[in-house]
Every structure is written in structure tokens, then in C-alpha cells.
Structure 1
């Protein structure tokens, strides 16, 4: 039994690890004892962890969508205001790398409650910040506190859920990754249109109180493991945190600062990449890593992480394009795009558990469920690529409806592939790698959409202007009429935006096709957690 694994395990986990590591193969293959039942008290605690993860997602999404109102209320310029989101996201993503280690050390119960309280406290203080630097500091601290919450959910799901309902717990995690972001626009519209911009920060308080009560009453009291602090991986922490934060800053500020033409962006990308390589090397050889890179030798785990990165880029892009088109072409506000978000969000409450129920059937192959979900994504992008300037909200309903089935098929299947076969002792490593990659991919998707969108908009604008000039469509009369020139410029700009959005749909389709091509190649057949893997299955599936 390695020292690294023994550090990560609790009293019960150590027994599991000892069984798998020290007993002979035949003895380890004996039938498992009768499955434990999920008590009502523990179910309350697990619901509390689900709410904690949802709280973190809502806090992130609502403040991002309401940022223009926040900037206006606090008289913050656009450039300075972008840093409010960037600094929050950088701290949020970087913290997810290390949160599972601290969660095990200070116990999941205490650590999660402390992070929820801190997230609420910093949110309450944000509207009262006396100046911009103090608001930046509060956003960074809130990003750190919020980044501690989502990784805890996977850990408790792997540790406490009985095998027969484990997939439903993973569907709950998928709910925070799909349902939570979809609620961002409706809630931001609700607070800014009918209440106050301050509610974008304060909305988490009631949910946070309920979360703390549920976790306190439901989760068991594990002993503190403060002795782990003596073996803290300082080299990994001091290298990894700035590495991830710098890369996130580079992607989120890249489009505004013209990417590598900016000295700051060059420093963020080059410095972040060098530090990230050093961090991964450190994690490979360190006896107590935050990332257990050896898990990547498992085909399903490495495929799951690869597909996760592409799926997050795909989901972020497909969700952002309609709102971006309606806002820039038809001047829709968040309140007017809310029906599109709700059309996806509310049915997910039904389709996610249904997808988990289907995948929990032994005869269902999760690989083809994922493939079907990706095909629906491709169909969405293909239909969106034919959009015109006449498209309004109603034209996107069919596209959004496909996401109701597509998103659960992809996300739950990925979670099943990543977590199946993982013992509770490896839960913290899987959670750190999964959550940090998910949130980092979201930052990459944002930068990709902004950067590619800007480049394609400029390209189409230049092409349209050249065509107008070459075909002599601008008559002397229109040149003399200021209104005519203004109207023509508006139409060129509008058409460039439409063509740009269609191009983004095509790029997202290419991402989905690439992920679809990996399905029959990389992953191996896996079975629901409640079943026993047949002897004929490849060893890499375990």
C-alpha cells in the first residue's frame, strides 16, 4: 500500500484499499458483501453537497451575466469591468486543483461548510466595496471560496452512494454543470430588471444557509487529518496555482488585448505554459500529488477527460451563440432571451435522471448513448449554420430543444466512464482533475468564441465591403445621403455578424464530429456500477 493512497483515505477507505492492494487476486475477487442502504440522514447531506455545487455555479454565472448592470451601478468602465470576471474565474479554476486535498484534510463536512460561508460573506461585502481594487480583492477571494465547492460533490458521490444509485448521484453533478449555467441568464434578468443589481451577489445567501444546514445534519463527522499538513505538496501548490491562473487570464483577456500582440498576454501564455509543464512533472514524481497522472493510463479515464474538454467547449459555444446573435442583431436584453435558457434548463430536471436510469441498465452501452448525444449536437450546429438576420428567438427553439436530450447523454456518459471502477481512495484525484479541466475548458471556450468571432466578423466585413466596391453598388446618390451610407454600413455589419455566428456553429460541429470519431476508438465497454465486469472484458476497462 503506497503512502500517497493511505494519506487520501479515511478509516473505511483504508480497509477498501488494503483489500485491493494486499490480498491475493482470488480473495479480492470474492463476492462483495450485501449492498449498504442510503439512510435518510445521509441523503440529506448529499443533497446539501449538491446544493453547494449548484450555489457555486449560480454565483459564477449570475454575476457574469449581470456584470454590465454591476459596472453601470458602480461607475466602472468596460475594460476595468472585464477584470472583475477574469480575476474571479482565474482564482476559481486554480482553486479546484487543490480543493480535494484540503477537503480530505479538514474533512468534507467542515471544509464545505466553511467554503459556503466564505462565499456568502464575500458576496455580501462586494456591493459595499469602497473602491475598485478592494472589489477586485473580494472577487478573487470569492472565486477561491467558490472553487472549493464543486469538487466535493464527486468525492462524496464516490464515497457514500450505493452502487445502484451512484449514476443518479453523477446525474446530480451533471445537473450543476448543465442546469446551473442555463439558469444564469434568467436569474440575472430577474434581479436586474425587477429588483436590484446587488441581488446578483446576495441571491446565494438563502441557498447557502439551507446548504449548510443540510450538510451539518446529514454528513457524518470524519476525524480531522491535520497530520497531512506536514507532508503538504508545497512545490506543486506554488507552481500549479499561478500556472492555471495565468492561462485562464490569458484566454479571458486575449481577445480584448489582441492576443499575442499584447505583452501581458504573451507573459500569461508563455509563463503559464512553462509553469504548467513544471507542475505536471512535479505531480508525476511527487509522493503526495494533487493530480494522480497515472490514472491517465486507464483508457476510459483518459478518454473521459479528453471528451470532457471538447464537450465543455461544445456546450459553452452552443449555449452562447443564440444569445449573442439576438443581443447584437436585435438588441435583446437578458430578460428577452430567458425563455431560450429556461427551455433547456427546466426539462433537464427530468431528462438527466432518465438518462441515468437508461445507463444504469446492463444491456445499454454508454458509448453509443454518448455517440447519439453528439449526433444531436451535430444536428443542432448544422441547422444553426443556416441562420439569417431574420432569425429571432422563436427560430432557436428547435435547436435548443435538441439540447434537452443531447446534454445529458454526453455529460452523464462521460461521468460514468471517468468514475466507473474508481475506489473511494482515488476519488479526490479524479475530482481534482475532472473539475479543474471542466472549468478550464470553459475559459478556453470563452476565449475561443470571442477570438474566433472577432476574426470572422472582420473577415466577413472586409469581404462584403470589397464586393460592394467591386460591383459598384454604392451610387453617387447614396454617397451623398448620410442616412443611406449609415443604413448600408449597418446592413454590412449585421450581415457580418450573422455570417460570424454561422461560422461558429460550423466550428462547434467540427468539435462534435471529432469527439464522435473518438467514441469507437478509445473507450472500452463499461457496465453500471452495480454490476460486476464480465471476465472477458479488457483489463483497461476496470
Structure 2
């Protein structure tokens, strides 16, 4: 390292940025965060089109979401170690550039396996972006304005659900699904260049640290085995398949070994001892289960809207976009609310709000109008705004300052991985319930059912087609009805789960002196 290089002189407590450097730095960091969050939501509405172009089922197309989340989850625990080895600025800039490369590879992917491999790389690159973006913003603003820094970050992160679905749908319909990934290239290159220019003289100190290689490898093994098992289970007939059985055994043994190793390792890659704390245990389980349901439904809803209601990708995006409206409006108010109300009260209100929203969705029908379709999504923005900050405060409360980074990393790992697992489980549940409802509806399809004969006769008359074509048309309608009943079941169970996990919030004892910003680093 050259001492004359400004990046070679680390600063432990750099002064806040001012003037144009402040504006450019904050904008570039926020832009990198936005790129990351946008990529998660922008892909949701493209799954049906992407699956058709690659010649795979929509269920297989959903792997594009789940493998990204699983890879992202695994890379999160590495952020602390990589930061101390490389420095915050080098790691953040490098992660952006790797994300850009992976995005380009996603856009060029000629087949699903290649796309999944590129998404894994993209997920690995995304791991450090969220915690480091928060850390850099906290150094950009004056200390007494840390709340403003985190509010800017929260608003940036919540704008993604507004812009992502609509933009993704428009790009997919107007151009190609590949461009939902290509759009990251110019954005990422600009963000990386500005971040390096503004922050390179503010690099953090580095030191050589050993890494828990055994713990990392065992983490990768059991997470990969479990995710592949969940994604391939339906195609291979679950545990009737020796492949699924083998993956299940590997995941179970790998998890058991990982837990024992991490609990006995002096410097574990994941500090599982944190689960001994009531606040951390209850808060992490609550936020992870809630996020799993929340994220999975964000993936499934656009699929149902496009495949069974016949919406274009852009229209499905516009239907799901209102989620972020209230989230953005309420985000700046969270700091004041946290000072006035118990975090447990806010989190409880969020869970009740989610339960109401999903119950409203469980009443959907195949002839639903657009207003009824959009209203729950719009209202969902309210509990979304009340969701993350209070639960993060509960998770980190009562911990000593030196444990907060590890606690934040572990809770984020569990939450993000729960999102991937939840998406796989609810996708399989929707498929199973659809098959069950379809079988029950088909039982009524016989020549002695007057409703069927009337429906076929009416279809023949209306469409001026033959009896066989009319029967096929009615059968397609039965398939749509079965899918609607199946996803209604998923919505209803989601509402129940949100109610059932409320007690987890109230077994905790949150402290009012929690510095949530400390966990951001």
C-alpha cells in the first residue's frame, strides 16, 4: 500500500461530508441500495414471461427468486469478516461491480441453469450491500443526524416496491425480460465510480483475521441442500424420490453439524449463542416468519394475476406497485413513533395489519375488479412501514455494543433465508391446493350435472363453437377457479400465521435506549 495514496490512510472516525461531496456520496450509496432492492421486486412480475421464453414452468421460474435469496443469505454473515480484511469502501465498491457483472450475465443467460448460476453470483454480491450502505450513510451525515441517514436509507429501500413491479412489467412487455437485469449495468457502474471517488479517502482500517472455514462450508452445504430440496421437491415427487431423500439427509446432518460447530468454535462465522437472549430469539423468529410470508406473497401474487387473470406484466406491476406508497410516506415518521410508543405495540399493529390484508385477499374471485385487487396492496404499505424498525429494535435491545454487528448480521441472515424458504413452501402449497380443488371441481363434471350442461350450451351459443371446444373452454375455467381457490387458501393461512406469531413479540422486553443505527453497520 502506497502511503501517498489517500485511500491508504484509514480514518477511524471520519468527519461528516459537506457540500457537493455530501450530495454525491449520499446519492450514490442510496442508488446502490435502490439497485439492490429494485432487482428483487422487478423480477417478480417477469417470472411468467421469463419462464415461457426459457421453456420452463412458472414454478421453475420462481427459482430465479429463491436462489438469489438463499445466496444472499449465505453471504451476509461474511460481511463483517470481509469488511475487516478489505475495508468498507473497497468491499462496497467491489460488491457493486460484482453485482453489475452478475446482472449482465443474467441478461445474457440462454437457459435456466445459466440464469440460476448468475443469480447465485448476484445474490452473493448483494449480501454486503445493505449493511454497508447503512454504515456509509451513517458516516456521511453528522452524528446528530443519524436518524435522517437511516430515514433516507429506509425511503430508498421502500421506493423499490413502488417502482420495481411497474418498471419490470413495462420493460418485459416493451422490450425483453433480459433488460430488467441489464438496467443494473449503467446504474451500478455510476454508483461504484462515485462511491470510490467520494469515499476512498475514508477507508476503514483493515487487519488479517482467520475465517471459520469449516463453519462457512457447512453453512453453504445445508443451505444449498435444503433450498434445492424445496425447489425440486414437487417435480421429483418429494420423498418418493431418492434424490430428495438424499438432499433432506444432507440438509439435516449439515445443519446439526453447523450448530454444534458454531457453538463450540471460538470465533464462529455465525454467533449462535445470541439465541440464548429472549429478545433476540423472539424478535428474530417473529421477523423471519413474518418476512417469509410477506416476501412469498409478493412473488406469488403477480404470478396469479398474470397467468390466471390474464393481466400483462406491466399491468400486474401497476397492481402490486401501491405497496410502497404508504411505506414511503410513513418511513420518516418511524423515528418519532419509536420514541413515543413501545416497539412491541408497533410490531403488533403491523402483524394485525398484515393479517387483515391477507384476509381481504382470501376473498378474491376470478372476476375481481381492479380496485378490489389493488386496495389490499395499497393498505399493505401501512404494516410494511411498521414492520422492520420496531422488530429490529426488539432484536438488538439489551445487547452490548460489541455484539450488535453480529446480532444484526445473524438476524438478517435468518430473515433473508426465511424469505427463500417461505417462497418455496408457499409456492408448493399453492400448487398442492390447486390440484386438490381441481380434483374436487372435476368430480362435478359429468353429463348428469345440469350446471355443466347449461355452461357448455351457453358457451356454444356465445362463442359459436362446437361442443368439444365448449367443454375445453369450461375446463380451462375450472382450472382458473381451482388456482383461485388454492391461492385464497394461501392468503387465509398467511393471515392466520401473522396472528399466531404475535405472542413472540410479547415475550420480549425491549429497551428504550436501543441504537438501531448501530445495527446498521
Q: What TM-score, normalized by structure 1, do the two folds share? A: 0.80
Q: Does the aligned pair in 2 maintain the 1:100–1:152 contact within 8 Å?
A: no
- Counterpart among 499, 505, 514 of residue 485 in structure 2: 499
- C-alpha separation in 1, matches of 2:453 and 2:327: 56
Match of 1:237 among 198, 201, 216: 216
- Of 363, 368, 381, the residue aligned with 2:345 is 368
Say which is worse superposed, 237-246 or 90-99, in terms of deviation: 90-99
Asked if residue 523 in structure 1 is aligned to residue 503 in structure 2, the reply is no
Distance 1:385 1:443 in 2: 22
TM-aligned CA distance change 1:47 to 1:306, over 3 Å: farther
1:248 and 2:227 matched = yes
* Partner residue of 1:386 out of 332, 338, 363: 363
Counterpart of 1:18 in structure 2 is none
Spell out, residue by residue over 1:439-487, the C-alpha distance to the aligned partner (whole angstroms, 9 max, x if none): 2111112112211111111221222233455973477796993134223
Query: Any idea what the Cα deviations from partners look like across 1:502-522, whole Å, max 9, x if unmatched?
Result: 2111101111101223233x1
Say if 1:346 and 1:401 are closer, same or farther in 2 by CA, change over 3 A.
closer
CA drift at 1:346: 3.6
Change (3 A) 1:165 1:419: farther
The 3 A distance-change label for structure 1 pair 182 and 96 is farther
Match of 2:302 in 1: 323
- Structure 1 unaligned residues grouped into runs of 5+: 1-9, 14-35, 532-542
**Shift in CA distance, 316/84, structure 1 to aligned 2, threshold 3 Å:** closer
CA distance in 1, matches of 2:110, 2:489: 43
User: How far apart, in 1, do the equivalents of 2:86 and 2:356 lie?
Assistant: 46
Mapping 1:420-435, distance limit 5 Å? 420-422=397-399, 425-435=402-412
Spell out, residue by residue over 1:382-402, the C-alpha distance to the aligned partner (whole angstroms, 9 max, x if none).
Answer: 222222222132212221222
What secondary structure does 1:294 align onto? helix
Partner of 2:268: 289
Among 483, 486, 508, the alignment partner of 2:494 is 508
Structure 1: distance between partners of 2:212 and 2:87: 18
Distance 2:179 2:376 in 1: 31
How has the CA–CA distance of structure 1 residues 376 and 370 changed in structure 2, closer, same or farther, with 3 Å as cutoff? same
Q: For 1:519, what is the secondary structure of its paired residue?
A: helix
Of 37-46 and 392-401, the range deviating more from structure 2: 37-46
Aligned pairs for 1:171-320 (under 5 A) are 174-175=154-155, 178-216=158-196, 217-218=198-199, 220-225=202-207, 227-228=208-209, 231-320=210-299
Higher alpha-carbon deviation: 317-326 or 170-179: 170-179
Rounded to whole Å, the distance in 1 between the matches of 2:83 and 2:171 is: 33
Q: Which of 115, 122, 125 is residue 142 of structure 1 equivalent to?
A: 122
Partners of 1:112 and 1:152 within 8 A in 2: yes
User: Residue in 1 aligned with 2:99?
Assistant: 119
Distance 1:176 1:467, change over 3 A: farther
SS of structure 1 residue aligned to 2:387: helix
Contact 1:93 1:245 in 2 (8 A): no
Asked if structure 1 preserves the Cα contact closer than 8 Å seen for 2:162 and 2:322, the reply is: no
Conserved 8 A contact 2:398-2:510: no
Does the CA contact (< 8 Å) of 2:347 and 2:390 recur in 1?
yes
Alignment correspondent of 2:461 = none
1:21 equivalent in structure 2: none
> 1:109 & 1:304 partners in 2: Cα distance?
31
Structure 2 counterpart SS, 1:464:
helix
Aligned residues: 493
Matched, 1:340 2:326: no
Return 5+ residue gaps in structure 2 as ranges: 1-9, 458-465, 517-521
Say whether 1:99 aligns with 2:76: no
1:463 to 420, 432, 440: 440
For residues 141 and 323 of structure 1, do their structure 2 counterparts lie closer, same or farther at Cα, with a shift above 3 Å needed? Answer: closer
Aligned in 2, Cα 1:474/1:68: closer, same or farther, shift over 3 Å?
closer
Retained in 2: the 8 A contact 1:318–1:381?
no
